[in-house]
Amino acid sequence: MEPAITVTGANLKALTHPLRVQVLGLLRTYGPATATTLAQRLGLTSGALSYHLRQLERYGFIAEDTERGNDRDRWWRAVHRSTEFDAQRLDPAAAEAGDAYEQGIITAITGSLSQAQADRAGWPAEWRKVFNLSDVLLELTPAEAERLEQDLLALLGSYPQLDPERGPRPGAWSVSTRFQIVPVAPTETESGPVDPGPVNSGPFDRGPDVEDDA
């Protein structure tokens, strides 16, 4: 599997549908799968998914896994571990498609977090303990925000990376570690600018604590 693919105006069309973003994420997380398996995970029929798989294949995001399956049961694999996307570098003509892709990412993140929260009760206690929804509000300049992004990426890169084709290490699970850097624009009031950012219960707002099993 290659390290990353860069999204450009030429291949962006493949990711403008939120379902394709989810399909790509599933293949990267769980490894090669058939259309039937993917459809079951997404609550769809394999026929409804076929067009989206062909679009992802057409633009180089996925490929047929020729080492598995047969003419009746095709397997698909992700070609890259991650996607690199910079909306500011897109041609203005592709801006609307870029917005659609970002909305697809938001939809996929929301869905996977909701699913994880629902599944958490069935996890071992040690994994329920590390489930984390932190929210930290900072005060940064644009340069500091850019440095924060690079520092976070470097930190994440220092940990073992997921390779679904290699198989898991003993005792290890796939762990999704997302971060968003979202500027909060101030609003103007009679007394001056006011930042309406989220109010945290403390430096790290983790939400309700999860009790471990005895």
pLDDT digits (tens, 9 = 90+) for 87-111: 888 888 888 889 989 998 898 899 8
Q: Where are the domains of the chain?
A: 1-122, 127-160+167-214
Closest CA to 204 of 156, 151, 138: 138
Q: 1-122: which CATH number, 1.10.357.10, 3.40.50.300, 1.10.10.10, 3.30.70.100?
A: 1.10.10.10
Each residue's pLDDT expressed in tens, for the chain with a length of 214 residues: 888 999 888 899 899 898 999 999 999 988 999 999 999 999 899 888 999 999 999 999 999 998 886 767 789 999 998 999 888 888 888 888 899 899 988 988 998 899 999 999 999 999 999 999 999 999 999 999 999 999 999 999 999 988 877 877 899 999 999 999 999 998 876 455 555 555 444 333 444 444 444 3
